[in-house]
Amino acid sequence: MRKRGTKNKVYSFEFKLMVVTQMLEQHLGYREAAIKFGISSKGANGKGIVKRWERIYLEEGEEGLKKKRRGKNTTGRPPKLDKAVEEDLIAEVQRLRLENAYLKKLHALALSRMESENKTKPE
């Protein structure tokens, strides 16, 4: 595990592209490419880094290698809802809360009637 405060090495777009294209042209494995270009990560070899670059290159092309990917969520913050949609959702939540409270009271009333009938019934 990495020590706190140590920085990850940052590779340029041109370097990533060169590694991936040469790996594909020369049919190199991930480990071979990592060794050839001196790519390593703390506590492990760099094959995972090269594998990630290749996947991004094959899925998104060269532009994918230019993107900065930090953290788990690469999509960013979800967009806010329209005011009308938000108001409709709030109104629905309030209506459902009222309905839930009504059903709870109805259930309690039904239970109390059943109990009172059971007490008054002679055996």
Tokens of 113: 């009637």
Q: Which of 48, 56, 17, 22 is nearest to 36 (CA)?
A: 22
Longest dimension (CA), the chain: 94
**Structure token pair of residue 71:** 């953290």
Tell me phi and psi for residue 80, to 5 degrees.
Answer: -75, 150
pTM: 0.52
What confidence score (pLDDT) does residue 102 get?
A: 97
pLDDT: which is higher, 82 or 122: 82
pLDDT in tens, 26-61: 998 888 888 888 887 655 668 888 898 999 898 888
**Angle of CA points 69, 70, 72, to nearest 5°:** 105
The 10s digit of each residue's pLDDT in 92-113 is 999 999 999 999 999 999 999 9
Amino acid at 37: F
pLDDT at 43: 53
Residue 105's pLDDT is 97
Tens-place pLDDT, residues 53-95: 999 898 888 888 888 776 665 566 667 788 899 999 999 999 9
Quote the pLDDT of residue 35.
Answer: 87
